[in-house]
Amino acid sequence: MTTIIIGAGQSGLAMSRHLTARSIDHVVLERGEVANSWRTERWDSLRLLTPNWQTRLPGYAYSGDDPDGFMTMPEVVRFLQRYARVSCAPIATGARVTRVRQQEGGYEVETNFGPWRCRKLAIATGACNLASIPSLSAGLPGNVDSLTPLQYRNPTLLPDGGVMIVGASASGIQLAREIRAAGRRVVLCVGEHVRMPRTYRGRDIQWWMDVIGAMDVRYDTMIEDIERARRLPSLQLIGTPERATVDLNSLRKAGIELAGRLVGLVDGKAQFSGSLANHCALADLKMNRLLASIDDWVNASGLARQFSAPHRFEPTDVGSETRLSLDLIDAGIGSVIWATGYRPDYSWLDVPVLDGKGRIRHDGGIVSAPGMYVMGLPFMRRRKSSFIDGAGDDAADLAAHLTQNLNCAAA
């Protein structure tokens, strides 16, 4: 086998499509069914954060009658299943990879179906296999449940009592909104975050990010630290039929209590940083810079009459006093949800390509081990790399590199 792709999500399927176009034999190994993570590791009400029109892969795109809507998880699964059929991807489902190791001329991939051997390997298992839970979680009282967004399904399945959500990026704000709407007390711990309106000047913010080229910015053209850019929190966005903007102001008006970043859990008491106002002010500043860049693009393009007038949103209001501690038991908190990010799982990868934090060392998806590639990571080659819309361009680049590598070896 020339190439093995591990993972049949959007990245693995996009890579398969490009390899097929180049007549490179390959197989896609998938531990479950196509789009397994979308199918099994998402909460019930979740929708894509990107509009339907932006759900596009090589040679295939959304073609329904609601381009500005947001897909539910079952709809995402069906979209990827159809894409797999249309592209005739050679997928082995139920093939769980248990170990990958180097061998002469390539790699041996051990699975529950037996070993496979290949010259080139593309890892497309995604960046969100495991929830990142801070070590301070060990101080949580034993009678307070601890769970992550990968385990959460809906408010009715939570233990009785209030809920403290740690983290205010996309997952955190969505869960806070949903759980509060179900009548629960919600305390939201807020650290660094990226505030973003759902719409601006009559268009979805993702439309603006797309048209001004922000999503196509490449990793090798970044002036600032690319590693920091890859670690930035996800945008504070939610996909709803009414295209609602959900920010800290709207959450606070809904009765959600804001606290600073969680810095400690001692004797059943949560301790919060006093930097909430500073974090919010910085997020407001960065959002306004983006909106200004959109306005500049509109003016430079001579298109101002095609869009509504520019405006700015109210600064984040955290109140006159911010909480620095909370006794979880006295406050009736029955569960804590750690919306503190995710990390990939490479426990099966027996090749010396991981850094001290278990992340693959790569240069735009080209791994330091010969013939190995990785896909679907944040800002891997472009800002959109971790989105469905980013899989196609990244796969095209890496498939071209893989082909060139094969040709050089054959010369």
Q: How far is CA 140 from CA 8, 136, 194, 360, 366, in A?
A: 37, 8, 27, 31, 40
Tens-digit pLDDT profile for residues 192-211? 999 999 999 999 999 999 99
Instruction: Output the DSSP codes for 9-63.
Output: SHHHHHHHHHHHHTT--EEEEESSSTTHHHHHSS-TT-B-SS-GGG-EETTEE--
Whether 283 contacts 197, CB under 8 Å: no
pLDDT beyond 80 at 117: yes
pTM, rounded to two decimals:
0.95
Query: Domains in the chain, please, with CATH?
Result: 3-129+344-410 (3.50.50.60), 132-338 (no CATH)
Tens-digit pLDDT profile for residues 302-333? 999 999 999 999 999 998 888 999 999 999 99
Q: How far is CA 219 from CA 23, 228, 365, 396, in A?
A: 29, 11, 10, 16
Give the pLDDT score at 120. 98
Neighbours of 149 (CB within 10 A): 24
Give the pLDDT score at 41. 86
**Rounded CA gap, 122 and 12, in Å?**
8
| Averaged pLDDT score across all residues of the chain | 96
What is the average per-residue pLDDT within 99-106? Answer: 95
Give the pLDDT score at 411. 67
- The residue ranking higher by pLDDT, 104 or 333, is 333
pLDDT beyond 90 at 1: no
Q: Order of strands, edge to edge, in the sheet holding 145-147?
A: 145-147, 333-338, 162-166, 186-189, 257-259
Percentage of the chain surpassing pLDDT 70? 100
Give the pLDDT score at 397. 98
**Rounded CA gap, 361 and 143, in Å?**
40
What is the average per-residue pLDDT within 371-392? Answer: 97
CA 161 and chain centroid, separation: 29
Tens-digit pLDDT profile for residues 168-182? 999 999 999 999 999
What is the average per-residue pLDDT within 363-368? Answer: 97
